[in-house]
């Protein structure tokens, strides 16, 4: 791994100094060594992402094995992802992001994965930031306090206006409902632990609602949630968000999340 500064640490971990994995950090970071990373994988749900999925897979493979769930694509998404080196599972017809993530969780649990890092197939999540998630996961594990959810926190100031408004309002509304400040509830770039994966398999939520539900489950079970800053990347495509409709839908999702978070813990840790 040319150009990196990696020194061996204890307990099966390595310390990566500035520039490791092609990412510049202002302080040393702890991350998993190759054997420990074998228990994690990158999970990418994809629908009609033929032009972009190959580059995302190739970049993610520099850090972790990659599993792509092709969610009923009508183009060559699956073939491009496979040629780039990903393991690909196809589901048809299109069932939505929530169903694709649950299919990936089920596969990862069956393979014995300890956690997955989910990221989008359209390039809005930079795979070069995977080490930041691994670093937080490693620090938690070394401290004997493993985390179930690490969310990539975006900078709302760098979003298009409609998205900035919807994300900020959503953050305030959900935080008020849950009684805890939720820094970014709709980011799909996150590390999801084994217990949380198992706890979501019976969900029927899709899209952003499923990602909000993960947060509510962690609060219900008393599982820690961590945040890592990530780049906020948007292309030139126009936002399809309709603010009033999105707000109405989000209020409904918030109500369901509030009920989940206030429910009795189910101790869904029986994922072994």
270 falls within a domain: no
pLDDT classification of 236: cutoffs 50, 70, 90: low
Say how far apart CA 201 and CA 3 lie, in whole Å: 41
Q: What is the mean pLDDT of residues 24-40?
A: 50
Whether residue 179 is contained in a domain is answered as yes
pLDDT band at 1 (very low <50, low <70, confident <90, very high): very low
CATH number, domain of 128, equals: 3.90.550.10
Structural domains counted in the chain: 1
For 231-245, b where at least 16 C-beta lie within 10 A, e where not — what string?
ebeeeeeeeeeeeee
The beta strands (E) that lie in the chain are given as: 6-8, 13-16, 29-32, 40-46, 66-71, 87-91, 115-118, 149-153, 190-193, 225-229
Q: Please indicate, yes or no, if residue 271 is contained in any of the structural domains.
A: no
The pTM assigned to this predicted structure is 0.80
pLDDT of the residue at 193:
96
HSE-up of residue 111 (Cα within 13 Å, Cβ side): 20
Average pLDDT, rounded, for the chain: 81
Q: Is the pLDDT of residue 112 over 80?
A: yes
Per-residue pLDDT of 57-104, as tens digits, reads 999 999 999 999 999 999 999 999 999 999 999 999 999 999 999 999
Q: What is the pLDDT of residue 221?
A: 95
- For residue 120, the enclosing domain spans 6-262
Query: 66 vs 34, 69, 119, CA distance in Å?
Result: 14, 10, 11
Residue 238 pLDDT grade (very low, low, confident, very high; cuts 50, 70, 90) = low
Residue-wise pLDDT tens digits, 188-206: 999 999 999 999 999 988 7
């Amino acid at each position: 791994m040319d150009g990196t500064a990696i020194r061996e640490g204890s307990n099966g971990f390595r310390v990566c100094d500035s520039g490791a994995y092609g990412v510049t950090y202002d302080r040393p970071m702890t991350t998993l060594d190759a054997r420990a990373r074998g228990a994690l994988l990158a999970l990418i749900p994809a629908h009609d992402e033929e032009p972009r999925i190959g580059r995302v897979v190739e970049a993610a493979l520099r850090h972790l094995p990659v599993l792509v769930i092709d969610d009923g694509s009508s183009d060559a998404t699956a073939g491009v992802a496979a040629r780039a080196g990903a393991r690909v599972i196809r589901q048809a017809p299109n069932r939505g992001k929530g169903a694709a993530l649950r299919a990936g969780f089920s596969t990862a649990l069956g393979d014995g994965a300890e956690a997955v890092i989910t990221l989008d197939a359209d390039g809005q999540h930079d795979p070069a930031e995977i080490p930041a998630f691994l670093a937080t996961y490693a620090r938690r594990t070394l401290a004997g306090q493993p985390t179930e959810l690490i969310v990539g926190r975006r900078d709302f100031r760098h979003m298009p206006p409609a998205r900035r408004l919807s994300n900020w309002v959503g953050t305030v509304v959900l935080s008020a409902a849950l009684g805890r400040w939720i820094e970014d509830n709709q980011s799909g770039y996150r590390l999801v632990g084994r217990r949380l994966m198992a706890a979501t398999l019976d969900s029927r939520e899709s899209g952003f609602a499923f990602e909000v539900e993960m947060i509510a489950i962690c609060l219900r079970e008393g599982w820690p949630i961590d945040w890592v800053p990530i780049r906020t990347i948007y292309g030139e495509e126009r936002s399809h968000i309709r603010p009033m409709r999105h707000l109405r839908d989000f209020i409904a999702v918030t109500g369901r999340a509030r009920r989940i978070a206030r429910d009795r813990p189910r101790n869904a840790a029986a994922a072994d």
